[in-house]
Amino acid sequence: MPAVLIVDDDDAIHASLALFLKQAGLLSDSTVTPAEALGKLEARHYDLLLLDMNFSRATTGEEGLAFLSQVRKTHPRLPVILMTAWGSIALAVRGMRAGASDFITKPWTHLQLEASIRTALELAAAPPEPEPHTLTRERLDARYDLSDIVGKDPRFLRVLDVISRVAATDASVLITGESGTGKELIAAALHKNSARKAGPFVKVNLGGIPSTLFESEMFGHVKGAFTDAQRDRKGRFELADGGTIFSMRSATSTPPPKSSSCVSCRTGRTRSWAPASRAPCGCGSSPPPTATSQTSYNRATSAKTFSIV
């Protein structure tokens, strides 16, 4: 059973997280200072670190970033999720660049935190990145199904290696690149090498969906939910249940309603539109989204086309 170390100076946070982790089937231990946490990390093995970013009156997050730097030196493969009540995009970017697996703001939602923890644990369990001189196309083809992709350039082999290792997890993936560079082939390879390969691979061109129809197209609706809703209709997420949903042109599409898109991407759960007189029609657990963009990632995030979550 995976063990999680909580580093936070608030006893109420300890109690809340310990109960949540127990319900999620995880072991937990807690400490109030980074110095004490280092001792615990040396004394026993932990699979994940939940780290608060402030341990004094300061709210800059520098204390958490400094401790994260120490952990990366002594335990480079230990996933760390940063947590703070004083979050900002700039602080999140610094944390991710310093090696954090994710950045969670307080108060958190259990669905969001559980999804983040599961993804971090899955990525940590994936095989470590091989040395460049040992990476060959023949070795990759022997372990993974990459038959639809052609290429032996060393830089391209690193891309294929990342695909193969990420495919073993349920992490959401953003694929960037110019038109015609094979983003759809990469998404298909992720699906074919995942535990969901027997499920559907649903492609969605977000650039062709008007913002007014986004929720109906992606999440579905039930009869009577709105004018002209004459019958129940499954959304793309429900159609892809148990498989992979591939969203094309995500950077050039009209921004969708944030509440629905964030809930889906963060938790993997969606609900169909329903009128007030009927109970929501749940589609269960949705697949992890895979999105592509022709816009560079830096340009998209600086323009806030994508949310850092």
Decide which of 3.40.50.360, 1.20.140.10, 3.40.50.2300, 3.40.50.300 is the CATH code for 3-125.
3.40.50.2300
* 300: nearest Cα among 176, 187, 211: 176
Q: Is the pLDDT of residue 253 over 80?
A: no
The encoded tokens of residue 256 equal 């969708």
Q: What is the CA radius of gyration of the chain?
A: 21
CATH fold, domain 167-302, is Rossmann fold (3.40.50)
* 262: nearest Cα among 195, 172, 166, 201: 172
Task: Assess contact for 135 and 158: CB atoms under 8 A.
Answer: yes
More confident: 262 or 131: 131
Residue with tokens 């970017």: 93
So what's the pLDDT on residue 165?
Answer: 83
Q: Do domains 3-125 and 167-302 have the same CATH topology?
A: yes
**Confidence bin at 307 (pLDDT 50/70/90):** very low
Mean per-residue pLDDT, 9-31: 94
Residue-wise pLDDT for 157-201, tens only, equals 989 988 888 888 887 888 888 888 889 999 999 999 998 999 999
Separation between Cα atoms, residue 302 and residue 309, nearest integer Å: 14
What residue segments make up the domains of the chain, in order of their start?
A: 3-125, 167-302
pTM of the model: 0.61
So what's the pLDDT on residue 200?
Answer: 92
Task: Assess contact for 113 and 91: CB atoms under 8 A.
Answer: no
